[in-house]
Amino acid sequence: MVLLKYLFRNIFRHKLRSILTILSVSVAVLSFCLLNTIISAWYAGVSASSAYRLIVRNAISLVFSLPISYKEKIKQISGITYVAQGNWFGGIYIEEKNFFANFAVDSETFLKLYPEFIVSENEKKAFLMDRKGCLVGRKLVERFNWKIGNNVVLRGTIFPGNWEFVIRGIYRGRDKSVDESQFLFHWDYLNETLKKTSPTRADQAGYFIVGIKNPEDAAVISREIDSLFKNSLAETLTETEKAFQLSFVAMTEAIVIVIKLVSFVVIGIIFVVVANTMNMSVRERKNEYALFKMFSYGNTIIFGIILGESMLIVLTGAILGIILTFPAVKVVGDILSVYFPIFNLHREVIYESLFISFIVGILSGLIPAARSIKINLAEGLKWDL
């Protein structure tokens, strides 16, 4: 306790310099946490993927569809529990800035494949019974102030026209990693309308979601599905849900790398700022360290005091930065909710920032501490007048 009190007194001999250093560390830690939270949000779909689901799409590109007749053939393969078809709809609500993901899905089977989508039984029944019914995420409801029973019109881009829906259910995520900003409606509604307006586009699925009994059989089942449609007009590519999500992240990998590099630059800034502060502090107190030596205090004690000051400055700034990160993540998450529907601060990021701060605190104090124990007693006792 006495040592800690002494360290605090030493740090705040120059209050302005110490406060500015601590604030610099806080801003750096805050930036580091925010940048890594953005990276986590980028991989949110990957993290939320289930090992019990496979995605079947056209081998050429996701842009090309697959015949709905593939569904029954896929069902016959051993080890499969459910198969649901889906289409990316790409509808626009009022204006383009109101972007959100909207899908036409095989509703009943989809909800069985995604138990992490929590819906009350009454709302689920109402949704399944209404052909124009839709199921929307909690965050989407909060964003547009929707309520059960509201009519929603989406302007189709991939499937032209104005499409009318009725909100029959609101889902919430079982886990924090679940995207609560999706808009789901019946694939049958889309298909029946296309039969009337564009028959050549009917009975086509954008992809199939396949549930499997054992994740260890994923590779075998994937190969079996793809071999089933080999040399057909629409060959398939089957992959785990995680691999499917990673393929989208790979398209923007350069951006993720840049963000990671910036986060490392932030670490470098912390090191330079604290190391400079400690160097100035040691130079100013070389006389005191000489007195310590004169009164038989060993180099270990002097080394420990300087290292302790460095770590105390960095960790104080780091803790303050972490505290500020929580409201910052909430604000930034609300601003970027359209692009990152899942924007959560993970414990791993906090632990990582504390660990890095600890290492930076040690490294920043090492050189000044090493210099202090080399101070010549005669030279150190020359007081500046």
Q: What is the mean pLDDT of residues 77-84?
A: 95
The pLDDT value recorded for residue 145 is 94
pLDDT at site 195: 94
Q: 19-36: per-residue pLDDT in tens? A: 888 888 899 899 999 988
Q: What's the pLDDT at 176?
A: 83
Residue range 289-302: mean pLDDT, rounded: 57
Q: What is the pLDDT of residues 127-136, one digit of tens each?
A: 999 999 999 9
| Model confidence at 281: pLDDT above 80 | no
pLDDT attached to residue 128: 95
**What is the pTM assigned to this prediction?**
0.76
Rounded distance between C-alpha atoms, residue 242 and residue 222, angstroms:
14
Which pLDDT belongs to residue 230?
92
Q: Choose among 216, 383, 362, 167: nearest CA to 278.
A: 362
Residue 207's pLDDT is: 96
Q: Which residue has the higher pLDDT, 357 or 152?
A: 152
Identify whether the C-beta of residue 324 lies closer than 8 Å to the C-beta of residue 30: yes
Domain ranges for the chain: 2-44+252-380, 60-234
Is residue 121 within 8 Å of 173, Cβ to Cβ?
Answer: no
User: pLDDT at position 385, please?
Assistant: 43
Give the separation between CA 98 and CA 96, rounded to whole angstroms: 5
Work out the mean pLDDT of the chain and round it to a whole number. 85
Whether the Cβ atoms of residue 38 and residue 346 lie closer than 8 Å to each other: no
Q: What is the pLDDT of residue 343?
A: 83
Find the helix packing angle between 299-335 and 2-11, rounded to 10°: 70
pLDDT band at 287 (very low <50, low <70, confident <90, very high): low
User: Mind listing the pLDDT tens digit for each residue in 149-181?
Assistant: 999 999 999 999 999 999 999 999 988 888 899
Q: Between the ranges 97-111, 234-248, 254-268, 370-384, where is the mean pLDDT highest?
A: 97-111
Q: Is it the case that residue 375 has pLDDT exceeding 60?
A: no
Say whether pLDDT at 360 is over 90. Answer: no
Q: What is the reported pLDDT for 12? A: 65
193 burial via Cβ count (<10 Å: 0-12, 13-18, 19+): middle
Residue that wins the pLDDT comparison between 381 and 195: 195
